[in-house]
Amino acid sequence: MNSKYCSEDEQVCKCCGEGADLIDPRLLEVLDAMREAIGEPLYVSCMYRCPEHNAAVRGVWNSQHVLGKAADVQLPEGWTSEELAQLAEECGADGIGIYDWGVHVDVRGYEARW
């Protein structure tokens, strides 16, 4: 999938290298918008997960990662998880989960927060 900033290595499953063709283009648009707004690179630790990888990390059965609609974004230096979540919302993310390490963002098609 085309993205101004997200490499194919960031998009694929970390265990099998598959899934770049499954990434929702809208997710890439949200991530690109976040990077533009921040003005510096973001570290995306996980985007697509194959079902086996999702099970291994104890992801929920209906994970947006398995559908190619989610990404985990690590905190940039000087940012809080809450600030990054607000930015994700402003950039069009539907689902946003706030964690100590950063935020989960997804494009599930309806609003979800945790």
pLDDT band at 75 (very low <50, low <70, confident <90, very high): very high
Range of the domain at 41: 8-113
Residue 81: predicted pLDDT: 97
- What is the Cα–Cα distance from 78 to 95, expressed in whole angstroms? 23
Kindly state whether residue 1 falls inside one of the protein's structural domains. no
Kindly state whether residue 50 falls inside one of the protein's structural domains. yes
Find out whether 81 and 100 touch, Cβ atoms under 8 Å.
yes
Kindly state whether residue 2 falls inside one of the protein's structural domains. no
| Tally of domains in the chain | 1
Kindly state whether residue 95 falls inside one of the protein's structural domains. yes
Kindly state whether residue 94 falls inside one of the protein's structural domains. yes
Strand stretches in 1-114, DSSP E: 44-46, 70-74, 95-99, 102-106, 112-113
- Output the pTM of the full model: 0.93
Summarize pLDDT for 1-60 with one digit per residue, the tens: 589 998 999 999 999 999 999 999 999 999 999 999 999 999 999 999 999 999 999 999
Kindly state whether residue 3 falls inside one of the protein's structural domains. no
Summarize pLDDT for 77-105 with one digit per residue, the tens: 999 999 999 999 999 999 999 999 999 99
Domain holding 59: CATH number?
Answer: 3.30.1380.10
Kindly state whether residue 73 falls inside one of the protein's structural domains. yes
